[in-house]
Structure 1
Amino acid sequence: MAYISKNLNRPSKNSAGTREKFNTYVSFVPLDVIKKDPETDDNGVKTVEDLVLNAGEYAEKIYASPSSIKITKTSDGDEDAIGWTTGVEFSHPGDELEKNEFEQNRTNVPGIIIVGFNQCGPNPFAKIIGDCSAPVYLKVEGQNDNEGTKSLFKFEQTVKSTSVPRFHYGNIPFETPVDTVAADATTIDASAGNGEYQLQDGSASAATIDAFTNVTESTVITLKGSGGTNPSVVNAATNILLKEGASWTANLNATLTLKAFKSGAASYTMIEVSRS
């Protein structure tokens, strides 16, 4: 489907030109661990799939001094060859061994960088900078003197891309899930907050998950499949809206990301954001 022409009006968000609400951690993912880079919708910016990594691989979290985070985005080129060059830079304090090991082992490694927004707000999302055809590379400017100790990390594309940073509302695989759901559970308790919820194989039969508790308007959770003989199932229901009404089965490493929508005075509907 072709892009539908739209007016670019004044943003509805108050003071939209002020600094965005960056999360305090960014994530780096080397290209060689990516199993499935998420596709976008027809407009080419919003992802419609989860980021899927090879078994046993995870995004690498990096602390970034919040006021130092800066996303760069430039388009240039000759006629009929204009492309995008994007990147992100931020400061990381100190000069600990782990930081130097990261610098040593991630230099000249192509990857993508993920910057999160609105971690504590009603609409958390992330921007994915770089892709499999135009990855980012790490460059470092270190400081260790009487004025301070820190490194300026710059993740930059070295070739032009055909797209701006993608807006990602789906899963980002981290090493530790926020919670492990009991085998045979039919209700997901979201009190552990946003993140991955690891499911377990059913003891005798496949459990059907049909309820979510302790959710708020800012809840975005990802169910991660266990595989096995009796993997759990999520079916479309009054309080669970799935794309095209298609059921989801918790096969090994499969993911289903859901966002809470307040549908009543004290009730919520979980709406599918993406799956893999």
Structure 2
Amino acid sequence: MESVAPTKWSLNRVLLLILFIGLAVFALFPLVTLVIASFKPAQELIRFGLNLQMNADLFTWENYIEIFRLDGNYLKWYGNSILITIIFTVLSLIFSSMVGYGIAMYKFKLRNFIFVMVLVIMAIPLEIIMLPLYKLMISMKLMNNIWGVILPFVVAPLPIFFFRQYAGGLPRDFLDAARVDGCTEYGIYFRIMMPLMAPAFSSMAILQALGSWNNFLWPLIVLNSTEKLTIPIGLSTLLTPYGNNYQVLIAGACFAVIPVLIVFLFFQRYFIEGMTAGGVKG
């Protein structure tokens, strides 16, 4: 019996390793295909489409050079996306975490009602509230402004729910001890509770940054000048009824993946921990 158990365990590990390698290959296949296609000329893409065939004779940097010849617009789009993503992510993490923390830690009237409303809002798609939000942005004179893209979704129901779940599992003894020592409520949150919620912040930072970077519909409604467009909208303008620059579009899409990878690699230490804890605590 002692010799059988290690064999079974080793076999299970091998099978899991094969499974995860297969999933990794499956997940990376579109990205690898996109990167290979970004070095191919337009004629090759039109004739054979996206594939994994690599021909050294057709290898070219022209597609990447071309994206920076778009009257400098690509760099403007890139800068706009980075600026909007950074501001949105930081503000969303601060205010959404404070709301979720407040609902979880403080007892007050209508607390449960507010939490139920958060859950209800999570079920409402953007398309339903798009017209009222559009009219609100016009009345606030935030059209064609990055703040019109950022402000409507700074305090969103998903991060509120996530932070509420995570904060609900934190020990309340820290609050009582800090209050005895004379710490203010804001001091308790920023000095004590926020460091304890670091895994939750890391998880939400990835999700919020990724959502902001890939956001297409709402910025398309708010922004209308070429120099203020974001990466997804700007790249979509390369496809027109008069001609499609697929090779430039693919190269621009590959270059646009870099910030997402950087964010994930920076926060991935706490990503799984934060997602798991936020899902079971509370």
Do the two structures share a fold, i.e. TM-score over 0.5?
Answer: no
Larger Rg belongs to: 2
Task: Please tell me the TM-score bracket, short chain as reference.
Answer: under 0.3
Bigger helix fraction: 2
Query: Bigger relative contact order, structure 1 or 2, given CA contacts below 8 A and separation 6+?
Result: 2
